[in-house]
Structure 1
Amino acid sequence: MGDAEPGDAGRDRPLWRDRNFGIFLGVQTASVGGDAFSAVALPLLVLHATGSVARMGLVTALAGAASIVAGIFAGVLADRLDRRSLLIACDAARAVLYGLVVAFPHLGVVYVVVPLGAALGMVFEVTYVTVVPALVGEGQIMRANSRLYGTYAVASVVGPAVAGTLSAAFGPQTAIAVDAASFAVSAAGLCLVRLRVRPGRLEAPAASPLRDVLAGARFLWRHPVLRTLTALLSFLTFVTYGLTDVLIYRLERDLGQPDGVAGYVLAAAACGSLGAALLAGPLRGRFGFGPTWIGAYALGGLAVAALGLVTSVPAVAVLAAAFLFCTGAAGISSMSLRQEITPDHLLGRVTSAFWTVHSALGPVGAAALTWAAAREGTAAVFAAAGTACLAAALGAVWTPLGRSRPSPEPT
């Protein structure tokens, strides 16, 4: 394959000296910065057109449903096709799709483009997870994930603030245009990245299509910690998937804030993600995987519940940052664990199965949360979601996840 470098030369060089990792880090940071623009601009575009939080939730639900359907097949694509080429194709296609929203900023276009973009995004995200171990040495996976998450967090800090300002001054479609351009930059940059061949990558045996799709799910089921994580995250995704929409609605309708404030709050909240990038590794090293993950979601639940009690914008931003810190620390640890214990020829399908199963209830949750916010108020929704997160974290103490250092091999 043209995108591979055989051998282990340079596998353990410092990350800051690794050309491939540096390029990958740079272009993906640009792309995430663009995504941060759309995270603010698309809900605002729908809200301005309809004035309905339920319509915002519908768009989020459509995107989530498309991600789930794509996730069924994304792992097979990542394990059977040239991974770098697949990443490039996904980014190029998303650049075109979001460009259509800029050219035709109508709800009908949004309802078509957002699900398609989400499906391509799922394929990209699954494939992206599989290439990280091919970019760095085996002992550098946690550090690489933390670096990626940290620079993404920096982009996410700047992105929403600028997006809110642009949306207020020129309309949401201007911010969406930045996202389209960022995908084009990412696709071009990925052409310069070379991946190493990992042991077992080229020797994966052929299988029937059905066995290919189910291989990742079987691996998840056999591993007690991954099985527990999948079940818990299915529930947690249901109760948190629509929280960004509820937060924006609370700021604009309950607290009477203009568009720009939503962008600044999300930017400030992204500082929590940056903190997670810096501390996830030390926390996991000090306490082990289980306590780090459980403690993160317990604290995150408390932060979400408190969001319904505060009325000042700075307090909302601080609590949102705390929640993103907690979910970020848990997410970095979880992704690194999967990459460390999964054979390379299965990594795409395991990642796909993991995300597909635990994301299945996300669209329903988004619709339910936004409907409840319109009917019962945002304070009640935040209280219920936070309590649910805390209960799930406490319940995890009595599962295989409660072990601080789970065995790396399935049992």
Structure 2
Amino acid sequence: MTHEARRAERTKETAVGQPLWRQRNFGFFWLAQTLSVLGDSFSLVALPLLVLQATGSVARMGLLTAVGGVAMVLAAVFAGVVVDRVDRRKLLIACDLVRMVLYGLVPVVWLAGPHLWLLYVVLPLCEAVGMLFAVGYVTVVRGLVDVTRLTEANGRVNATAAAAGVLGPLGAGLMAAWTGPADAVAVDAASYAVSAALLFLVRVRERAGDDRPAGKRGVWRDLRTGIGYLVRHPVLRSVTALLAVFSFLSLGINDLVIYHLKHDLGHDDGTVGTVLAIGAVGTITGALLVARLRRRLGFGPTWIASMTVCGLAFAGLGQVRSVPVVAVLCAVYLACVGVAGTCSMSLRQEITPEPLLGRVTSAHWTLQYALAPAGAAVLTWAAERYGTAAVAAVAGVCCTLTGLAALGTPIRRAAAPVPAAATPEHGNLPRVDDDQEA
């Protein structure tokens, strides 16, 4: 074990009983994530506005989202293998620096006028790098806090990130209205530079050793191992399958909300940013409540209820013409998405053996988002052809039914997980050997 790893281990052991905000390594990581999301929330508004400004088409907005989603899915296939083989902290820093450069190109090129082709290059690359970062993030949190506090840690990170998400869309909307959406993308690029600098200060506990014989290591074998563990665990398998359906139906919801506000209701970019900022308050609420809800209700009821309410809020988004009501429904939707997402991520962190965590996370996201890009393209095409009200109603009802379908799966009975320290041979965790096919 290296000197830095020993120091990180000692810091983690002495900080187990401390509040999370007083734990140095987690604190720096927490701040880096918050600033990164602040910048992300600028691009979340700015990129669709750049497309809408140039084309006036929600279908073109959905196409950009779909292209980014395809890149994310392709990256997810191999992200877990990469994360489980390299230094996680260095990987996160590299991802931040690459995204800083890529997003920084947009405002520079836009000085000469709109160049939509650049967005179809930059966004897929950034989404692919972002998937590497996301999988790495899951494993890093596991190396920063005690396993019993994973849900709390994820909730705290999500809460402050959502607080940044309140300011981000609001600032992006105002900046887009005053100086143009391209300038808002520049803020995203700058946020990645600061995040990378903070991650330099983080020390992560060294992961458990990989005890596989050298002859049994290989990319395809690693992929099969991650997928095999996921599909053999009854709760993880059910969660992944239902989230795949939900993602297909909902990946394009951000484009749908922006189009509804600007095209159907006739409001400007500032209103779009304000509504999305108010919606982000829901994410803060969900992140702050998730640990308490899960302790009181258990994983299954919490996850099922939040997914069901997501669908109901989605169904109502296209029906209402009052901007404040749209903002409230966005807040409810994002609160429930945050609760469900934090619960499922924490469950994977808790029950997956650490040497497998990157590959299992990668397998989960690959399967979850495999069909989502096509869903985003279909959703926005249908909204342009048939109207946002009808499309949101159909998609929302289907999302609600997806949540209720969990009542017929092992999710309904899922309670406290087996501790993460267990190996696949312990307790009721499914055994997955490298020689087994997925």
Both proteins in one fold, TM over 0.5: yes
Task: Report the counterpart of residue 294 of structure 2 in structure 1.
Answer: 284
Matching of residues 236-275 of structure 1 within 5 Å? 236-275=246-285
Q: Provide the C-alpha distance between the structure 2 equivalents of 1:314 and 1:14, rounded to a whole number of angstroms.
A: 36
Tell me what 2:151 maps to: 142
Q: Does 1:30 align with 2:39?
A: no
Question: Which residue of the partner structure matches residue 133 of structure 1?
Answer: 142
Deviation at 1:11, TM superposition (A): 4.2
Structure 2: which 5+ runs fail to align? 419-427, 431-438
Query: Which letter maps to 2:317?
Result: L
Aligned counterparts of 1:139 and 1:190: Cα–Cα separation in 2: 24
Which residue number corresponds to residue 214 of structure 1? 224
Q: Is the 8 A contact 1:238 1:362 kept in 2?
A: yes
Structure 2 equivalent of residue 9 of structure 1:
13
1:156 counterpart residue number: 165
- Is structure 2 residue 414 aligned with structure 1 residue 410? no
2:349 alignment partner in structure 1: 339
Say yes or no: does 1:52 pair with 2:57: yes
Contact in 2 for aligned 1:224/1:410 (Cα 8 Å): no
Map 1:22-101 onto structure 2 (within 5 A): 22-101=27-106
In the alignment, the residues of structure 2 paired with residue 123 and residue 204 of structure 1 have an alpha-carbon distance, to the nearest angstrom, of: 23
The CA RMSD over aligned residues, in Å, is 1.3
CA, structure 1 residues 204+321, in 2 after alignment: closer, same or farther (shift >3 Å)? farther
> In 2, Cα distance between the equivalents of 1:136 and 1:203?
24
Q: Is the contact made by 2:310 and 2:337 (CA closer than 8 Å) also made in structure 1?
A: yes
For the 8 Å contact 1:225–1:406, the answer to whether it is kept is no
Contact kept? 1:135, 1:195, Cα under 8 Å: yes
How many percent of aligned residue pairs carry the same amino acid?
55
How far off its partner does 1:61 sit?
A: 0.5
CA distance in 2, matches of 1:246, 1:40: 12
The number of residue pairs the alignment matches comes to 410
Give the TM-score, by structure 1 length: 0.97
**Shift of residue 389 of structure 1?**
1.1
Q: CA deviation at 1:65?
A: 0.3
Structure 1: distance between partners of 2:3 and 2:167: 35
Residue 373 of structure 1 corresponds to 383
Shift of residue 197, structure 1, vs aligned partner: 2.0
Q: What amino acid is aligned across from residue 104 of structure 1 in structure 2?
A: V
Distance 1:379 1:210, change over 3 A: same
1:119 pairs with one of 128, 132, 138: 128
What is the letter of the counterpart of residue 14 of structure 1? Answer: P
Residue 177 of structure 1: how far off its partner (Å): 0.1
Q: How big is each residue's C-alpha offset from its partner over 1:21-59, in whole Å with a ceiling of 9 and x where there is no partner?
A: 111111110110000000000000011111111110111
Contact 1:204 1:345 in 2 (8 A): no
Q: What residue is the counterpart of 1:309 in the other structure?
A: 319
| Residue number in structure 2 paired with 1:225 | 235
Residue pair 1:3, 1:84 contacting (<8 A) in 2 also? no
Give the CA deviation at 1:348: 0.4
| Cα deviation, residue 3, structure 1 | 5.4
Distance 2:31 2:322 in 1: 35
The answer for the alignment partner of 1:293 in structure 2 is 303
Shift of 1:10: 1.8
For 2:4 and 2:165, locate their aligned partners in 1 and report how far apart those are by CA, in whole Å. Answer: 29
Classify 1:407/1:18 alpha carbon distance in 2 versus 1 (closer, same or farther; 3 Å): closer
Moved more, 156-165 or 202-211: 202-211
Structure 2: distance between partners of 1:205 and 1:400:
35
Q: Over residues 133-161 of structure 1, what are the superposed CA-to-partner deviations in whole Å (9 max), with x where a residue is unaligned? A: 11111211111001100001100001000
CA distance in 2, matches of 1:132, 1:330: 18
| Residue aligning to 2:405 | 395
User: Distance in 2 between the 1:285 and 1:232 partners?
Assistant: 23
1:332–1:258 Cα change, 3 Å = same
Q: Which amino acid aligns with 1:144?
A: A
CA contact (8 A) 2:68 2:127 kept: yes
Q: Deviations over 1:170-211 (max 9, x none)?
A: 00111000000001111111111000124x245455412211
Query: Runs of 5+ in structure 1 lacking a partner?
Result: none
Question: Contact 2:347/2:417 (CA < 8 Å) preserved in 1?
Answer: no
CA contact (8 A) 1:163 1:175 kept: yes
Amino acid at match of 1:194: R
- Shift of the alpha carbon at 1:410? 2.5
The answer on whether the counterparts of 2:238 and 2:409 sit within 8 Å (CA) in structure 1 is yes
Equivalent position amino acid for 2:429 in 1: P
- The Cα shift of 1:388 comes to 0.6
Distance 2:95 2:219 in 1: 22
CA–CA separation in structure 2 for the residues paired with 1:209 and 1:299: 39
Alpha-carbon separation, structure 2, partners of 1:308 and 1:170:
29
Runs of 4+ in 1 over 2 A off after TM superposition: 1-9, 200-206, 406-411
Q: Pick from 344, 353, 365 the counterpart of residue 355 of structure 1.
A: 365
